[in-house]
């Protein structure tokens, strides 16, 4: 079978955050369970939630979840263009897993015209060994003012000749207008790729939407592939980007019955890889508080976590402007614990230097001074998956606890507290004898930092870490990774019940005919 005739289906949306990413993940699992070799693909993504791939690059976290749902290794070709926002007007541009440049929005608009060949090249790699490719669009094709250089929606669908279904989110209201309006805005050439639609996040009696289906058919002649009723398990899966943090439910302000441990996390503007927090939020005895701008970090908390950041200096300045530095230092003086991950680790030191403007404007910024280290943003980006073991020292953790994760950062951190590194990273075969030491611990053992993302996903380590924070009486029954796969199965079951998966597969097979 030639690449041009490999079955493929593109899922576009009437807007951002209508549920495209989760729908594609669920479809990947559903079709994979039917015995198909499924590959996910997203031409262009914008997110600071990134994943390190099995071939050593980076892609959007959503595509990594979709690959997991399909049961296939991750590759940079699943998301050939990744935009990682560093400011309100500029982003780091990652092409086929590697940093290409940093560009402002207007500059990228001109640049992306030259990226379509790379996108199509990656699609051909993905399609070469697939029975089915499920493609996710970005934003909405209704942004017709950007159509001339589009590589994310109809521009890609046309170039790769892939049929499209449109997803509308009824939960936000106006779903008929959003579907019909999108159809009306598309040119006649683009409409020929649009074959149907799906209504997502429906609450209540589905039969009441029957007349709406007739209205949409009359206005657009599009086929309905089903109505997906609201699925309550979405919060159990990693979120695509920071939009999830703006909504209630991803991380809660607190449990009604409290918890054995209270953890506070400042919500930084350029927060990155915040799915590090998911395993902690899933623990029944943990109360995880995401502290929004304008809120105070509460005095009565056991642990403060400084998360990853795509723009460490800018987020460090923001943290100070919010007065959170004062809150964190007061928390520490009261005997509280602090841990920083990646960018958060860098903020805990005395200084962060960015002489070349790697993450924004060149400059330096004083850190919180809770770790005796300094960071310089220089050199190549570190990208790797790795396993690790704990090092028995002032961390208070037992030695040789196994864990795994990934590094994805700019900059190098050094200083006296690095002598108390608490993680030894392994090679790809799990040998830690000559592994790189990561992390730092303060002399009193109450402040820790490391570059390893994903470490809390390892159950034994997470439970030991939380016990050290004061959660000795916590239940240790949570198997986080098994819960992810169980949720993907539940999502696939839900879509099987709500959608015409046979009809969607036939539509995918019509490509090239």
Catalytic (active-site) positions: 342, 453
Task: Give me the residues paired with residue 402 across strands.
Answer: 389
The DSSP secondary structure of 277-330, one letter per residue, reads: GHHHHH-TTEEEEEE-TTPPPPSS-SEEEE-EESSHHHHHHHHHHTTHHHHHHH
The phi, psi pair for 121, rounded to 5°, reads -60, -45
C-alpha–C-alpha distance, residues 333 and 340, integer Å? 17
Which are the contacts of 350, defined by CB distance < 8 A and separation ≥ 6? 366, 367, 369, 371, 372, 373, 374, 415
Q: Running DSSP on this structure, what letter comes out for residue 395?
A: T
Question: Cβ atoms within 10 A of the Cβ of 74, count?
Answer: 24
Q: What span, in angstroms and rounded, lies between the C-alpha atoms of 289 and 269?
A: 16
- DSSP-derived letter for residue 453 is B
DSSP H helices in 439-479 = 459-468
- Percent of the chain that is helix, strand, coil (3-state, to 5): 35, 25, 40
- Residue 312: name the closest of 442, 449, 443, 437 by CA: 449
Tell me if 268 sits within 8 A of 318, measured CB to CB. yes
Q: How many residues does the chain have?
A: 513
- CA distances (Å), origin 97, targets 248, 257, 503: 32, 44, 34
Strands (DSSP E) found in 293-435 = 303-306, 308-309, 337-341, 351-354, 363-366, 374-376, 382-390, 402-409, 412-414, 423-425
Tokens of residue 383, six digits: 């990208």
Give, in order, the Cα–Cα distances in Å from 53 to each of 131, 300, 415, 451.
Answer: 21, 39, 30, 17
**Dihedral sign from CA coordinates of 82, 86, 92, 96:** negative
DSSP assignment string, 243-285 = GGGGSTTSS-S--TT--SEEEEEE--TTEE-GGGGHHHHH-TT
DSSP codes, 167-219: EEEGGGS-HHHHHHHHHHHS-HHHHTTEEEEEEEEE-S-GGGGHHHHHHHHHH
Structural Rg of the chain based on CA atoms: 23
Q: Decide: helix, strand or coil at residue 480.
A: helix
């Amino acid at each position: 079978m030639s690449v041009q005739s490999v079955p493929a289906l593109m899922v576009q949306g009437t807007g951002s955050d209508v549920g495209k990413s989760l729908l594609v993940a669920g479809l990947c699992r559903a079709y994979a369970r039917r015995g198909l070799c499924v590959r996910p693909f997203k031409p262009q993504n914008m997110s600071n939630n990134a994943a390190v791939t099995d071939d050593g690059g980076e892609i959007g976290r959503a595509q990594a979840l979709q690959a997991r749902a399909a049961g296939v290794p991750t590759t940079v070709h699943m998301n050939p263009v990744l935009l990682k926002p560093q400011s309100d007007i500029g982003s780091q541009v990652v092409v086929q897993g590697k940093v290409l440049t940093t560009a402002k929005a207007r500059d990228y608009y001109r640049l992306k015209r030259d990226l379509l060949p790379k996108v199509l090249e990656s699609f051909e790699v993905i399609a070469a060994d697939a029975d089915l490719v499920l493609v996710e669009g970005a934003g909405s094709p209704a942004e017709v003012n950007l159509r001339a250089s589009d590589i994310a929606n109809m521009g890609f669908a046309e170039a790769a000749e892939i049929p499209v279904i449109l997803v509308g989110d009824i939960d936000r209201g106006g779903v008929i207008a959003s579907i019909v309006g999108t159809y009306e805005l598309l040119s006649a050439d683009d409409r020929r790729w649009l074959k149907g639609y799906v209504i997502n996040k429906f609450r209540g009696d589905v039969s009441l939407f029957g007349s709406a289906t007739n209205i949409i058919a009359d206005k657009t002649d599009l086929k309905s592939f089903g109505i997906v009723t609201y699925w309550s398990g979405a919060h159990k899966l990693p979120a695509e980007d920071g939009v999830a943090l703006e909504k209630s439910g991803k991380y809660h302000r607190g449990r009604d019955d409290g918890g054995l441990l209270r953890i506070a996390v400042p919500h930084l503007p350029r927060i990155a890889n915040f799915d590090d927090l998911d395993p902690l939020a899933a623990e029944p005895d943990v109360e995880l508080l995401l502290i929004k701008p304008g809120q105070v970090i509460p005095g009565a908390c056991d642990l403060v976590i400084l998360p990853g950041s795509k723009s460490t200096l800018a987020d460090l300045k923001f943290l100070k402007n919010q007065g959170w530095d004062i809150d964190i230092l007061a928390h520490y003086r009261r005997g509280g614990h602090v841990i920083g991950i990646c960018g958060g680790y860098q903020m805990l030191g005395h200084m962060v230097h960015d002489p070349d403007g790697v993450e924004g404007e060149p400059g330096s910024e004083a850190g919180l001074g809770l770790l005796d280290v300094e960071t310089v943003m220089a050199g190549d980006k570190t990208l790797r998956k790795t396993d690790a073991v704990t090092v028995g020292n002032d961390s208070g953790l037992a030695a040789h606890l196994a864990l795994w994760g990934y590094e994805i950062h700019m900059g190098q951190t050094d200083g006296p507290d690095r002598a108390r590194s608490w993680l030894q990273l392994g090679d790809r075969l799990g040998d830690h004898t000559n592994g790189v030491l990561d992390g730092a611990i303060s002399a009193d053992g109450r402040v820790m930092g490391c570059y390893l993302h994903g470490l809390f996903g390892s159950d034994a380590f997470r439970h030991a870490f939380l016990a050290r924070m004061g959660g000795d009486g916590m239940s240790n029954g949570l198997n986080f990774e098994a819960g992810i796969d169980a949720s993907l199965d539940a999502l696939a079951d839900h879509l099987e019940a709500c959608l015409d998966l046979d009809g969607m597969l036939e539509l995918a097979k019509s490509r090239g005919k």
